[in-house]
Amino acid sequence: MGQHATSAGFAGLLLPDGVMAELPAFGREAVLRALALAASARLDLPAFQLHERLRIREALGSTAFGGGAAIPHARLPGLNQCVAMLARLPQPIDWQASDGQPVDIVVLLLSPDNNSADHLKALARISRTLRDPATVPALRAAQDAAAMLAAVAGETRVTA
């Protein structure tokens, strides 16, 4: 990962063209399927395998982070580094969050299956960014993918 990867936020983890200003999915399963397809196209990995790993992880417990965000994640063979995608949903959906809030911001994290340390560090970076009180409102207010990218890079501030 380059120098940008260690800067504010988690922008350095995002795949090229990995920010979707509107992911047209209206249920948790549909979101997981759509993210698996999108990541598959960018990583040249089987969509079925990605989707199955995400479903298995989600079955262990909701990956809803709270505050309207979720971080579905999986570890996969064939990856050499952690990568992420960011999506905003057109309407909030039930993700069985512990705070009861529906989710409209989703960060997909995919990690190598043999590197738990990097996986945990990437999860921490994403959760730290989403915990920043300005980030999620900035993601919701963003006009496009570029503005969403700026928000997770710590370059845009919107107060709630």
- Active site members: 73
Phi, psi (5° rounding) for residue 17?
A: 60, 35
Residue keyed to tokens 């999986």: 74
Token digits of residue 140: 């919701």
What DSSP line would sit under 60-119, residue for residue? HS--EEETTEE--EEEETT-SS-EEEEEEEEEEE----TT-PPEEEEEEEEEETT-HHHH
The gap between the terminal CA atoms of the chain, to the nearest Å, is: 32
Widest CA span of the chain, in angstroms?
40
- CB-based contacts of 49, cutoff 8 Å, min separation 6: 76
Token digits of residue 17: 């063209």
